[in-house]
Amino acid sequence: MKNKWSCLAIACLATLLLSLDLTVLHLALPRLVTDLGASSTQLLWIGDMYGFALAGLLVTMGNLGDRIGRKRLLLIGAAAFGAASVVTAYAPNAELLIAARALLGVAGATIMPSTLSIIRNMFTDPGERTAAIGIWSGMSAAGFAVGPIVGGLLLDHFWWGSVFLINVPIMVLVLVGGALVLPESRNPHAGRLDLISVALSFTGVVTAIYAVKEAAHKGLEHADVLVTGVAGVLLLGLFVWRQTRLAEPLIDVRLFGRRAFSASIVTNMLAIFAMSAMMLMFAWYLQLVLGWSPLQAGLAQLPGGLSGAVGGILAARLIQHLGRNGVVALGLAMNAGTFLYYSTLGTELNYLMLLPIMIIGGMGVGFAFTVNNDNVLATAPVQRAGAAAAVSETAFELGGALGIAILGTVLNSAYRANLVLPAGVPGGAARESIAGAVSTAAALPPDQAEQLVRAAQTAFVEGVHLTSLVTAGLLAVVALLALVGLRGVPKVIPDEVLARAHS
């Protein structure tokens, strides 16, 4: 057997790149308005198209890897990702950039489940498997943390397309290294891919996420948002119904009868729901309230991401002392405490006081997500590892979209409720967001501009307080759910136990 730790290095490298790609674009968006003349609607599609394609195709690609081979799919996806990155970097207009981002999402959907399923097949020892997934989760967390820093450094010296060209040399390493060290694995009894299920999966997930994002922008009172949301739920319901009637389904719904699988999926989804909006909120806080540059904000958040990597690695050892439910609950409780601290932030910050809190929260993320990902993969049959990984990643994407929509709405509502506009300053964009207020202030006389910015910062901080308290409460509830829902799941989950693990 080829060296499994070399295989893990290839999987981690591919995962690191995907995490980087999710965060570097945020810093480049202002440049796209100037260089490509992108409208506000086009900016939304540039940001969202990658996620739509990625989330919509995860289940399909996970199953495809089980059928044609995980190594083959990973290498195909890596080559496509590198090519799409070049197209994205040199897109001459917003329309082509949106199309290129869609191609990146399609390629990314092949990589995510492939890396996890390769780890599941290579690491048959339960302890080594948990440690490997911890390292994989840590690399993902590190990628999210490093992305803004890499993006900031590149944008300081090069044009916006440079943030995509960094993908190319990394993907070359994945292609060469993967071809040399990765073994091939597949499900020998997978059967044919049901195209109707593929269509229902893609349209259902994309429609549901689109409805969530539209609800965040327009509100639930708009008829088109409700219609789209209902359509997404119906399509996903039809998808699940069809899976129960197929000999070889895309998702074996019986897996949800296994506590370790279903409780881990739900816990991860609710946890990322709580955390996703706060990640974006904290980036706004550092830049728009404290006035830090994107690079400074990225560097400030780096310890949290790196501590997430450490937490992922330590999680395997903690399982032996606290059990799987205890480690997940501890990680989520640590995050609840972090957000309680965020509810005390003001318009000025002592970073040295914040630093240990961020580290604690980051380690908590590493604990929870590592153990939950290991639960999902260990509980699913090894032949369907790609499909199981895809379910976990899809729930992660859907939870993130819901969190940004719902908790983002809480933040914006609190901001608008607490904003007191200076006399003579029009509402409009200033009432919509703190970014709109800063933009409005740029066209006002200095005294009036200073009053508006100060009022917006104060209102935003009030929104941060409320949203942080809501998030802390939600994470505390999810910690209790994990403590109960994962109770009884063995510390070591060998394959022979899985055949009987239906409760």
* Alpha carbon distance 317, 324 (integer Å): 11
Mean local confidence (pLDDT), 271-290: 77
State the CB neighbour count (10 A cutoff) for residue 31.
15
Report the alpha-carbon distance of residue 466 to residue 447 in Å, rounded: 29
Lowest mean pLDDT among 184-188, 463-467, 490-494: 490-494
Query: In whole angstroms, how far apart are CA 292 and each of 141, 155, 465?
Result: 22, 16, 20
pLDDT at 467 over 50: yes
Look at residue 217 in the predicted model and tell me its pLDDT. Answer: 65
The 8-class DSSP code of residue 421 comes to P
Distance of alpha carbon 91 from alpha carbon 95, whole angstroms: 8
- Sequence-ordered list of residues with C-beta below 8 angstroms from that of 365, at least 6 positions apart, any chain: 141, 275, 308, 311, 331, 335
Read out DSSP for 135-158?
HHHHHHHHHHHHHHHHHHHHHHHS
Higher-confidence position of 33 and 85: 85
Residue 241 tokens read as 């119904």
Report the pLDDT averaged over residues 365-379.
84
SS3 content of the chain, % helix, strand, coil (to 5): 80, 0, 20
Distance of CA 289 to the CA centre of its chain: 25
Query: What is residue 221's predicted lDDT score, i.e. its pLDDT?
Result: 66
Region for residue 488 given its phi and psi (left: phi exceeds 0; alpha: psi -120 to 50; beta: otherwise): left
> Could you give the angle at which helices 385-418 and 351-379 cross, rounded to 10 degrees?
150
The confidence band for 501, taking pLDDT boundaries of 50, 70 and 90, is: very low
DSSP states along 321-356: HHHHHHHHHHHHHHHHHHHHHHTT--SS--HHHHHH
The tokens for 348 are 């000025």
Query: Which tokens is 312 given?
Result: 């992922």
- Higher-confidence position of 208 and 466: 466
- Which pLDDT does position 487 carry in this prediction? 86
pLDDT for the residue numbered 499: 39
Q: Are 392 and 398 in contact (CB under 8 A)?
A: no
pLDDT tens, 210-242?
A: 887 777 666 666 777 788 888 888 998 898 888
Which of the four pLDDT bands, split at 50, 70 and 90, describes residue 503?
A: very low
Give 57's contacts (C-beta < 8 A, 6+ positions apart).
Answer: 105, 106, 109, 202
Average pLDDT, the chain: 81
The DSSP line for 177-222 is: HHHHHPPP---TT-----HHHHHHHHHHHHHHHHHHHHHHHH-TTS
For residues 495 and 8, give the distance between their C-alpha atoms in angstroms, rounded to a whole number: 20
3-class state of residue 12 by DSSP: helix
pLDDT band at residue 112, thresholds of 50, 70 and 90? confident
Q: What is the CA radius of gyration of the chain?
A: 22
User: What are the Cα distances from residue 483, in Å, to 154, 173, 273, 308, 377?
Assistant: 43, 41, 18, 21, 19
Give the amino acid at 243. Answer: Q
498 pLDDT tier (thresholds 50, 70, 90): very low
Q: What is the pLDDT of residues 188-201, one digit of tens each?
A: 766 777 888 889 98
d(C-alpha 339, C-alpha 333), whole Å: 10
Q: 378 is written with which tokens?
A: 């260990």
Q: How far apart are CA 364 and CA 301, in angstroms?
A: 15
Residue 27: is its pLDDT beyond 70?
no
8 A C-beta contact, residue 346 and residue 462: no
CA-based torsion, 49, 54, 56, 61: positive or negative? positive
pLDDT score of 500 more than 50: no
Q: What is the pLDDT of residue 356?
A: 92
Categorize the per-residue pLDDT at 502 as very low, low, confident or very high, splitting at 50, 70 and 90: very low
Closest CA to 366 of 274, 262, 268: 268
Q: Give the HSE-up count for residue 464: Cα atoms under 13 Å, Cβ half-sphere.
A: 26
* HEC assignment per residue over 423-475: CCCCCCHHHHCHHHHHHHHCCCCHHHHHHHHHHHHHHHHHHHHHHHHHHHHHH
User: What's the rounded mean pLDDT across residues 460-468?
Assistant: 91
